[in-house]
Amino acid sequence: MQLRTGEMVRVQEAGDGPPVLLVHGASNAGTSWMSLMAKLQDFRCIALDRPGCGLSDPIVGGPLRDIDAIESYADRLLTDVLDGLELHRAAVLATSYGGYFAVRGAAANPPRVDRIVEYSWLLGAPMDKVAMSMRLSALPGMRAISAKMPVTRSMVKALLRQIGLERAIDTGTFTDEMIDWFLSVQRDTDTMINDLRSSPKIVTPVRGLNTRILHTDELLARVTMPIMFLWGDEDPNGGELVARSFAARLPDAQLEVIRRAGHAPWIDELDLCAARTRAFLAA
């Protein structure tokens, strides 16, 4: 599918029913949603590879250079994707960096978004701590080094643990096949380097999260559609206290804290998250 900005992007579809757009997190791709999509067959689930990720083209015009550029791009991405799909309106499921695009896109154009489900911490919310991998990626020259460094299975497992999938890996709910797929995304595509180039100054090595990226109360007040948070209490980016304070700032939000779940609660507790998602979308 081609966006009006020129990028060819990959979307994968499953199911039949009301349209639901799924937006993945950083250094990832739409296939990360497949287990959840398999449980939502009564909806038309559309998993996007964000520009620069998976099998989609890089962002037209090159990397995003500053926070203003990220904000402007995030404000229009959802609308551009829905226009490309010839959809006037859709529900949105998102997580992590994808949640930033969901919230800003919904605030910029509320009539296009029916409702939102956010899975655990999203960029734009405060963080409890910034993962060492994120701090290291912000060091001068690290992007060039990352582009040349061979990616191994042990490296991607360590990365997954750091960003909040430790329990999923230890219990096997994040399966060997999922690990192999994630390894292939990092090794065989330019996903990681493209996302690093398109998220400048979000994190600094010393101070951590740049507060300029946090959603303001004024922006959140424009997210007027219903939004449900399914938030893992073991998400290292932000746990239950962050979840409750952030959800309370939105006009029409509900929150369920998923016990013993991390940054990807639909992987830790697939059946629970699928049931809650299905009921919320059908409301």
pLDDT one-digit tens code per residue, 87-105: 999 999 999 999 999 999 9
The DSSP symbol for 239 reads -
Asked if pLDDT for residue 77 goes beyond 60, the answer is: yes
pLDDT-derived band at 148 (thresholds 50, 70, 90) equals low
**What is the rounded CA–CA span in Å between residue 4 and residue 79?**
10
Q: Is residue 187 domain-resident?
A: no
**What is the rounded CA–CA span in Å between residue 208 and residue 130?**
6
Contact between residue 246 and residue 103 where contact means Cβ atoms under 8 Å apart = no
| Torsional sign, CA 100, 2, 30, 271 | positive
Asked if pLDDT for residue 162 goes beyond 90, the answer is: no
Q: Is residue 41 domain-resident?
A: yes
**What is the rounded CA–CA span in Å between residue 97 and residue 55?**
18
Q: Is residue 176 domain-resident?
A: no
Q: Is residue 26 domain-resident?
A: yes
- State which H helix or E strand residue 277 sits in: helix 270-282
**What is the rounded CA–CA span in Å between residue 237 and residue 242?**
9
pLDDT score recorded for residue 87:
98
Q: What is the pLDDT of residues 215-241, one digit of tens each?
A: 999 999 999 999 999 999 999 999 999
Q: What is the pLDDT of residues 52-61, one digit of tens each?
A: 999 999 999 8
Q: If you compute the radius of gyration of the chain from its CA atoms, what whole number of angstroms results?
A: 17
pLDDT score recorded for residue 144:
57
Q: Is residue 190 domain-resident?
A: no
Residues 32, 53, 81, 209, Cα dihedral to 10°: 90
Asked if pLDDT for residue 269 goes beyond 70, the answer is: yes
pLDDT score recorded for residue 145:
60
Q: Is residue 201 domain-resident?
A: no
Name the more confident of 142 and 11: 11
Q: Is residue 173 domain-resident?
A: no
Any idea what the Cα angle at residue 272 is, between residues 268 and 278, rounded to 5°?
125
User: Which residues make Cβ contacts (< 8 Å) with residue 158, sequence separation at least 6?
Assistant: none
pLDDT-derived band at 190 (thresholds 50, 70, 90) equals very high
Mean pLDDT of the chain: 92
Give the CATH number of the domain where residue 235 resides.
3.40.50.1820
pLDDT score recorded for residue 198:
78
pLDDT score recorded for residue 182:
97
Angstrom CA distances, 23 to 19, 28, 170, 260, stand at 13, 10, 26, 24
Q: Domain total for the chain? A: 1
What domain range includes position 82? 11-128+213-282
